[in-house]
A and B are shown apart, each in its own frame.
Chain A
Amino acid sequence: MIEYFFLLLGELIMVFGTLGILRFPDVYTRLHAATKCDTGGAMSILIALAIISEASPLIRLKFLVLAFLIALINPMISHAIARGAYKHGTKPKVVVDMYAWDNP
């Protein structure tokens, strides 16, 4: 029963992440939605699959390794995209920008 709860939670998070990507104004706020909702949604779907599947426990552990790798790699990718966008010259729509103060 708890696996369907995890599946529903993952899909709900993915739907709201997509809504955030569509509605937010610029690159950096869209990256917020992409990173967090992808990580949380994919991890909870993988946990649900690890509970549902009827394989031996060592094979189920591979799902958890996948979830761990997603949690490790996703923030790094978002950091790389944000830094690359800033270096390319995309100005953020912000109230305060301390990064531009230090790197004129």
Chain B
Amino acid sequence: MSRVPFYLRERLDDVKQRVLFETYEAQKLPKWEQVVLTWIVLFSFWTIISANVKVENLLIGGLATLVISLFMYEMLTEDIRRSGHILEKILYISFFVIPQYLFIMAFRLIESNFKVAKHAVFMDINPGIVKIKTELHSNTGITILANSITLTPGTLTLDVSKKLGETYLYVHWISVETLNREKAGEKIKGDIEGWLKKIFW
């Protein structure tokens, strides 16, 4: 890439971006699956918030959330990877991915609280801002990864730079252990990125 002549580089970037966009379009979910997923999320939220399981309440809620999900199906489910049947996907996400993610993030959160308490008492800090690379491309995936990095011990996401198929995160690390990009990425991201890559594009 560095030896390409200057006048060819923009054209090459154009071609790369088009290839990326077309593979992304080919891997999207079909429309009716997006509508069904959005409807399930909105309807469960309605049921919990209204706290009322009479038949007419559920009927009104179901109709209203169906109309909303027919309009807004792109907002939540745009970046989900296509894989398998929709029923299999719903069961896999709601009974396997979300409990595993919540369980391990809860223990990470408690560990990070104790680590902050230890740093506050002994003041053995060595802060620095490092740059790591992620292999996620979609907005939803990067957002969830950045928020998870903020909640894991000792790290805080500062900014994201997204260019042409490569995404970098700037992370404020409270005790810098290594400056190598791959090792720092492994230490900071852990296995969160692997789980997110199964679902998000």
Q: Could you give, for residues 76-98 of chain A, a 1 whenever the CB lies within 8 Å of some chain B CB and a 0 otherwise?
A: 10110011001000001111111
Interface residues of B in 151-186 (CB under 8 A from A): 151, 153-154, 156-159, 161, 170, 172, 174, 176, 179
Evaluate contact between B170 and A37: CB separation under 8 angstroms. Answer: no
CA distance A71 to B128 in the complex (A): 25
Q: Give the number of residues in A that approach B within 8 Å (Cβ atoms).
A: 45
The listed residue (B147, B150, B158) touching A99 by CB distance below 8 A is B158
B residues touching A (Cβ–Cβ < 8 Å)?
45, 47-49, 51-53, 109-110, 112-113, 116-117, 119-121, 123, 125-131, 146-147, 150-151, 153-154, 156-159, 161, 170, 172, 174, 176, 179
19 additional A-B pairs beyond A24-B120, A79-B158, A99-B159, beta carbons within 8 Å, are: A20-B117, A23-B120, A28-B127, A28-B158, A28-B172, A32-B116, A32-B154, A36-B151, A36-B153, A37-B113, A58-B52, A79-B146, A82-B172, A92-B172, A94-B127, A94-B128, A96-B176, A98-B131, A102-B161
